[in-house]
Chains A and B, each alone.
Chain A
Amino acid sequence: MRTGHPNGTAAAPSPGERPRCRAAPHPAVISPQDPTLLIGSSLTATCTVSADLRLRAQDLYWTLNGRRLPAASYTTLGPTTLSVALARLNGSRQQSGDNLVCHSRDGGILAGSCLYVGLPPEKPVNISCWSKNMKDLTCTWAPGTEGETFLHTNYTLKYKLRWYGRDNTCQEYHTAGPYSCHIPKDLALFTPYEIWVEASNRLGVAVSDVVMLDILDVVTTDPPSDVHVSRVGDLEDQLSVRWSSPPALKDFLFQAKYQIQYRVEDSSEWKVVDDVGNQTSCRLAGLRPGTVYFVQVRCNPFGIYGSKKAGIWSDWSNPTAASTPRSERTAGGCDPKGGEQNTTLRRELKQFFGWVKKHSYGCSNLSIKLYDQWRVWLQKSHKTRNQVGTIWAPSGGKGGWEGGSQPQKEGSRGCPPTCA
C-alpha cells in the first residue's frame, strides 16, 4: 500500500530518504464538483484530463461508490473529456456523499466528486420539554417521517418569551439523545415560552410547529432522598417506608405527590402504590413473610406555586432493600434453598453415619451434628470472598472427620448450628 503507482514524475530523493513518487497536482477535473440533487433526478458528469498526462478519453472509466459504471452510459465529448449519464438517482448511500470517481485505465484515481442526493427535511414533531427544579429546560423532538436519512440534517432549537421580541438559540445539543437540547440558565417564570425546532439540510429548511409552555407546568425534580425501609415490629407481612422530600424544591410552595414501587428480590415485576398522596411515609402490607423486597420512590412536584397541573415524575430513587420477618410456623428454616433435597440428603447421611458408627473403629466422632456444623461452616465460608478454594482438611490423628469446636457466636443472621 505504501508504494502506489501514480501517474507522474518521481522527484529525486535526498540521500537516505525513501524515494517518493508524486502525481501531478490536479490530474483531472470533474464537473459538477460536489453537487446536491433531489432523489430521482438525473445527472451528466464530465471528466477532463490534464493535458500533460498524455491520456485520452478512451483511457478513462467511471465508478460510483466503488462500482464500475457501464460503458454504455459514457460519451466522449472531446479528446480528453469523457462524460457519464446517471439517471433516476437514489438517495445517497452515506451522508458524506456518493463517491463518483474518474479513473485511468490501470485503475488509478484521477479525480472525484461527492454527490449529495436526498430530500429536503420534514418538519420536526413531538417537541416535549421538562425543567429540572425550575433551573433549566431540556427539550426533545423527533424528525419528520423521512428523517435525515440521506443528507446530514442540522437541527436548531429556538425559543422566545411570548410578547417579548428576541429569538434565542439553544446551544447544548444531544444531552438527552440525538434530538435534544439543553437550555441551562436565564429562564423566566410566569410568562410562557414559544419553542420551535428548525431542521435544515443542503436541500432546504423546515420549521416545526410552535409549542407554547410555561416552565412551571413542566417541572420535575430529583428523586426523594433518604429512603428507609424497615420492618414493622414483628409483623411478617408489612414493611414501613420513609423518605424525605427532594431538597431542591423545599423552598418552593408545592404539594408533592409520591409513588412507590416494590418487587420481590428474584422477580422483575414491580407493584406500584399510586395513592401515596403527599405524606413522606407509607406502610406496605400484604407482603410475603421472610422475603427480601426492593423498594423505590419517586416524586411529582404537583401544584408548584399554586398551579393546578401535575408536574413531571422524577426518576425512581435507588432501590432500597429490606426483608420481612420470617414466620415461625415454617419448619426446617435452616435450609432456605432446595429444602426438600437437603432433608432427603440429610436423612440418608444420618443413616450412613449410624452404620459407620456401628462398623468402624476410628471414626467415633461421626454424627449428624458434625454434618450440620459442616454446613454452617460452608455457608460462612461462601460469604468470605477471600476463599480461593475450600478444602476440608482432615486433621492428623485418629478420626477422619475432626471438625474442631466452632461455637456459634452471632446467631442472628446465620442459621443456628443445630437444626431440628
Chain B
Amino acid sequence: MLNVAGEPPGDSWGIFAFLCAALCNLPTVPALNGTEELGAGQSIQKTYDLTRYLEHQLRTLAGTYLNYLGPPFNEPDFNPPRLARAERLPSATVDLDLWRGLTDNARLAANYRAYSRLLKYLRGLDSQVGTVELRHRLGHFCSSLQGLVLSIAGVMSSLGYPLPAGPAGPPPSSGTPAAPNDFLKKMDDFWLLKELQTWLWRSAKDFNRLKKKVPPAVVTLRIEARGF
C-alpha cells in the first residue's frame, strides 16, 4: 500500500472489500471443544519449536564440550561401550511399535520425566569444568532446557493430564556415586550429551505426532492496517 501524500484512498477500500468477501467464503472451521484445546494446539507447536531450537543449541554446546574433553571423544566415529553407569540416564531408544502405541498422556509424561532428569544431571556437572565460555553456554542451555520442561508441563495441564509426580528415581547427586575416575567421568559426560541429542530428535517426532491429533487453532488473518 502506498502512502503518498495527496493520493486518494480509493484503492485501499477496494482491497478491504475483497478481504471481507474472502473471509465470508471460508470453509467452516472444525468445531472446537472450548478454549482449552485451542490453547493446547498452540502450546504443542511452541514446544515443538523449542525442541528444534534446543537441538540447534545442543549442536554448538556439544561441539565445544567434546573438544574440551579431547580426542577420541570429539571424533565423529567415536564408539564407546555403553557401561552400566550409562543406564542411569533416561533412554530415548524405544521399540517402534511401542512408541507408536503410546497414549498422548504416556508420550508427554515420558518426555517430561526424561528432561527433568537430564536437566538435573546437566546442572550437576562440575562447576569448574572447562573455560568460562563453556560454562556460559552450559548455563544458557540449562535455562532453555528448563523452559522446555515447563512448556511440556503446560501442554499436559492444558490437555487435562496430571503431571508425573516428581522426576523418576532419586536425584542423581545423592543416590548414585560419582564417577570413580576422571576418564569415566568424561564417558558420563559424553553419554549425557548423546542421550540429550537422541531425546531431542525423538521429541520433535513426539510433538509432531501430537500436533496432528489435537485440533488446529483457528486460521488467523492479519490485515495490514496501513493507509486505511
Contact = CB atoms under 8 A, between A and B. Distances in A.
A34 B98 contact: no
Contact of A99 (B5, B70, B79, B98): B70
Contacts of A97: 70, 182
Residue among A34, A101, A109 with most chain B CB within 10 A: A109
Given A1-B79, A4-B81, A94 B70 contact: yes
Contacts of A108: 81
B186 A96 contact: yes
Nearest to A97: B182
B68 interface: yes
Contacts of A174: 132
Interface residues of B, number: 41
Interface stretch (A16-24, A128-136, A160-168, A331-339): A16-24
B71 A386 contact: no
A96 B83 contact: no
Interface size bracket, A side: 35 or more
B80 interface: yes
Contacts of B131: 95
Contacts of B6: 404, 406
Contact of A18 (B84, B94, B129): B94
Interface in A1-26: 1-2, 4-8, 16-18, 20-23, 25
Interface string B65-76: 001111111010
B141 to A, nearest CB: 18
A23 B86 CA distance: 11
25 contacts: A2-B198, A16-B95, A18-B93, A18-B95, A20-B87, A22-B82, A22-B87, A23-B81, A23-B84, A25-B83, A33-B182, A65-B70, A65-B71, A95-B68, A96-B130, A97-B182, A99-B72, A109-B80, A109-B81, A112-B186, A112-B187, A113-B181, A114-B186, A174-B132, A377-B5
Interface of A: 1-2, 4-8, 16-18, 20-23, 25, 27, 30, 33-34, 63, 65-67, 93-99, 101, 107-109, 111-114, 152, 154, 174, 178, 377, 380-381, 384, 386-388, 391, 393, 404, 406
Given A96-B130, A380-B5, 10 more contacts: A7-B81, A16-B95, A20-B87, A25-B84, A99-B71, A109-B81, A112-B186, A154-B128, A174-B132, A406-B5
